[in-house]
Amino acid sequence: MIDKEFVVASRISRTIAVAAAGVGLVLSLVGSAQAAPGGGHYSAHLDNDCGDASGTYHWKDSTVYNGKPSFKIDWDFDLSDTCSTNTHPVSLYRKYSRWTGSSWINDGKFHKIAASGRESNVADVRIFLCEVGLPAGCKAIS
C-alpha cells in the first residue's frame, strides 16, 4: 500500500517516518533507549470525506530487545463517521512490530484497535484511520 518511505533522523536517534503514496503521512517510531519521550496531537481525514480522527498519541522508550528499542505507547482519539449509512464504519488500525519474549514479529497486516488504549514492547508503530473493509482508502494518523 505504501510505495515510498523516507526517514528524517533527529539528533537524539528518534525518527519520524514520512511516507507518501496517496495514503498520507505515516508516523513511525525508531530510537535509542536514551531518547526523550515524544508524542502530541495528531489527526487524519479520509479522502472521501467519510471520516476524521483527532487526538493524542504518546510514546516513551522501554527496553532494547535483540538490539532493537521497544516503546510504551498510548493513544486517545475521537472518531467521526460522516457516512454512517454507507455500511463501512470508521475505525482505527495499526501496523507494528511486537516483541514476543524471544523475537520481534511484524506480519505487515492492519490490526483493528480501540479509539483509545495503550501497548508496550512495540516498535515501528503506525496508526491508520480506515473505513472497515476498505483498506485502500486508509489514511495514516499524522
pLDDT-derived band at 84 (thresholds 50, 70, 90) equals: confident
Its domain, for residue 64, covers 33-140
For residues 60 and 41, give the distance between their C-alpha atoms in angstroms, rounded to a whole number: 15
Residue 95 covered by a domain: yes
Q: What is the dihedral of CA 31, 36, 41, 42, to 10 degrees?
A: 0
pLDDT digits (tens, 9 = 90+) for 19-56: 222 233 334 433 333 334 689 999 999 999 999 999 99
Full-model pTM? 0.72
- C-beta separation of 59 from 71 below 8 A: yes
pLDDT at 127 (0 to 100): 93
- C-beta separation of 30 from 49 below 8 A: no
Domain tally, the chain:
1
Residue 105 covered by a domain: yes
Angle CA(17)–CA(4)–CA(29) in degrees, nearest 5?
Answer: 20
Residue 110 covered by a domain: yes
pLDDT at 124 (0 to 100): 93
